Amino acid sequence: MIPLTILSSFYDKQTRMVQVSSQQIHQCQCEHCQGGSDPHEKQIHHQINVVMSRLDEQQRRWYAAVEANRHGHGGIKLVGQITGLAEKTIRQGQQELLLDLTERPEDRIRLPGAGRPRAEKKTRLLAKS
């Protein structure tokens, strides 16, 4: 006779297979995108946010700082509206860029949620047979 407790252990394994949902792409809040007056500008702002969604925290800060510097006057406010980053965060990125990032470690820091190596090899082997 097989004890019933064996069945419950399979069930536990199944419920543990929960995937973390992919990071959402921020919607720009600037006047252009809200008013819909300039489709090109709107597309650029969307693409900025697409790239942002794949960067880690410090990379997002630096990219936002570059965009803000490119716009010049009012750049910090605009990039804040585009990306949803706090103006304080963008200013911090600008400060770090002014120092050529010399005060930041060169090794890429793996933040939580940055992902781990994929299991592609395993999948390919299975598909071959």
Using CB under 5 A as the criterion, which residues of the chain lie in contact with Zn ion when the complex forms?
28, 30, 32-33, 45
Contact 68, 78 (CB under 8 A): yes
Shortest Å, Cβ 53 to Zn ion: 15
Nearer to Zn ion, 62 or 67 (CB): 67
Cα dist from 89 to 47, 60, 73, whole Å? 20, 10, 17
Cβ at position 54, least distance to Zn ion in Å: 19
* CA–CA dist 53, 22 (Å, integer): 9
| Rg (alpha carbons) of the chain, rounded to whole number | 22
CB of 33 to Zn ion, least distance (A): 3
Do the beta carbons of residue 45 and residue 73 sit within 8 Å?
no
Which CB sits closer to Zn ion, 33 or 64? 33
Minimum distance from residue 96 beta carbon to Zn ion (Å): 25
